[in-house]
């Protein structure tokens, strides 16, 4: 007994105290990360929300820290901003849809036809490009899409004439499809993998051909995976401003925000506009949750 008492100094006593008081232990463990996130992140988001109601003084162009709905009025009533919002959401949806369709062959092959070895190699091959620097991958497409670049060369090689996308919405769409493809591939792969073979056999036994089985059996089963994958493709396109700037010739929501923080100098308007993607994503995530997408991740 005496030896234990001698030991009970410093660290050992602290350890014993924490053992007897799990609440204190929890507090010590949770406080640092929670403080950081509440102060730095939630604090910043709160500031963003507040800034959205500030406005620029018409005469001095100084930010007035009052309360006004001017920014929202501008965003709703101006044709320019409405067009930009619709374009951003439209291209985001198109990108998500294209990525979903492109994901099917590889996801199906990896999940249901490949040997475990090949499957692992394929999954790593899908994920690795995600880590090869976002900007470099956009840059790669800038190289490919220039009029004298790889894409035009490839099309001319086939003898079908020439294809010069240059700076266009098509280029933006194609680059985004490339950037986020792994994000849709992985959940769709996981959904295919979870799909029981017996369902397919039953469908075939009941006389359904390939397309019918796909539409009535496979598609409902993998729908949560599809929705889960689309969240990333959609959200990441919605919040991007670099790709439209580098390979496109039109503006996205992000470009307006970037310009207003920088050159145009209307931070309150930028803050108000940033609430638009938040609102869209909130609705999207709510619908995705109802579709069971989070269990599919």
Least gap, CB of 2 to other proteins (angstroms): 16
Burial of 177 (0-12, 13-18, 19+ CB in 10 A): buried
**Residue 168 or residue 242: which is nearer to other proteins going by CB?**
242
For the bound state, the minimum distance from the C-beta of residue 79 to other proteins, rounded and expressed in Å, comes to 22
Query: Looking at beta carbons only, is 33 or 161 nearer to other proteins?
Result: 33
- Angle, to 10 degrees, between the axis of helix 267-290 and the axis of helix 79-108? 40
Identify the CA nearest to 186 among candidates 144, 130, 242, 240: 130
Would you list the DSSP string of 233-251? HHHHHHT--HHHHHH-SS-
Nearest CB to other proteins, comparing residues 181 and 226: 181
* Cβ contact 110:122 at 8 Å: yes
Q: What's the closest the beta carbon of residue 266 comes to other proteins, in angstroms?
A: 12
Q: Tokens 């035009």 belong to which residue?
A: 152
Nearer to other proteins, 115 or 148 (CB): 148
Calpha distance 40→45 (Å, rounded): 9
**Rounded CA separation 100/113 (Å):** 19
Q: Which is nearer to other proteins, 39 or 76 (CB)?
A: 39
Shortest Cβ 127–other proteins spacing (Å): 5
Question: Are 64 and 55 contacting, i.e. CB atoms less than 8 angstroms apart?
Answer: yes
Compute the least distance from the CB of residue 167 to other proteins, in Å: 12
User: Closer CB to other proteins, residue 76 or residue 278?
Assistant: 278
Only one residue has tokens 């999940």, namely 111
Least spacing, CB of residue 22 vs other proteins, in Å? 7
Of 38 and 76, nearer to other proteins (C-beta) is 38
C-alpha span between 96 and 8 (Å, rounded): 61
Q: Which residue, 250, 80, 95, is CA-closest to 166?
A: 250
* Burial class of residue 110 in the structure, from the number of CB atoms within 10 Å of its CB (0-12 exposed, 13-18 middle, 19+ buried): buried
Choice between 165 and 253, CB closer to other proteins = 253
Minimum gap (Å) between residue 59 Cβ and other proteins: 22
State the residue for tokens 């091959």. Answer: 125
Instruction: Return the H-helix or E-strand segment holding 49.
Output: helix 43-51
Decide if 180 contacts 237 (C-beta within 8 A): yes
Least Cβ distance, residue 169 to other proteins (angstroms) = 19
């Amino acid at each position: 007994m005496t030896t234990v008492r001698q030991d009970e100094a410093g660290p050992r006593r602290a350890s014993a105290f924490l053992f007897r008081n799990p609440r204190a232990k929890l507090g010590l463990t949770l406080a640092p990360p929670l403080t950081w996130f509440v102060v730095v992140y939630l604090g910043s988001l709160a500031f963003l929300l507040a800034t959205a109601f500030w406005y620029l003084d018409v005469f001095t162009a100084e930010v007035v820290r009052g309360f006004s709905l001017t920014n929202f009025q501008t965003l709703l009533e101006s044709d320019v901003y409405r067009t930009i919002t619709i374009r951003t959401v439209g291209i985001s949806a198109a990108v998500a849809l294209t990525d979903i369709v492109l994901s099917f062959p590889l996801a199906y092959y990896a999940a249901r036809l490949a040997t475990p070895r090949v499957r692992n190699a394929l999954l790593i091959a899908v994920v690795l490009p995600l880590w090869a620097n976002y900007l470099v991958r956009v840059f790669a497409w800038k190289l490919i899409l220039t009029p004298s670049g790889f894409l035009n060369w490839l099309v001319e090689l086939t003898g079908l004439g020439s294809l010069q996308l240059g700076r266009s919405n098509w280029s933006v769409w194609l680059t985004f499809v490339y950037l986020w493809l792994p994000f849709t591939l992985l959940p769709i792969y996981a959904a295919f993998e979870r799909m029981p073979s017996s369902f397919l056999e039953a469908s075939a036994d009941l006389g359904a051909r390939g397309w019918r089985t796909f539409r009535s059996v496979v598609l409902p089963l993998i729908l949560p995976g599809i929705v889960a994958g689309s969240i990333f493709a959609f959200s990441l396109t919605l919040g991007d401003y670099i790709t439209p700037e580098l390979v496109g010739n039109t503006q996205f929501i992000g470009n307006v925000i970037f310009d207003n923080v920088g050159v145009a100098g209307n931070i309150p308007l930028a803050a108000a506009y940033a609430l638009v993607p938040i609102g869209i994503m909130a609705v999207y995530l709510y619908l995705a949750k109802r579709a069971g997408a989070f269990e599919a991740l």
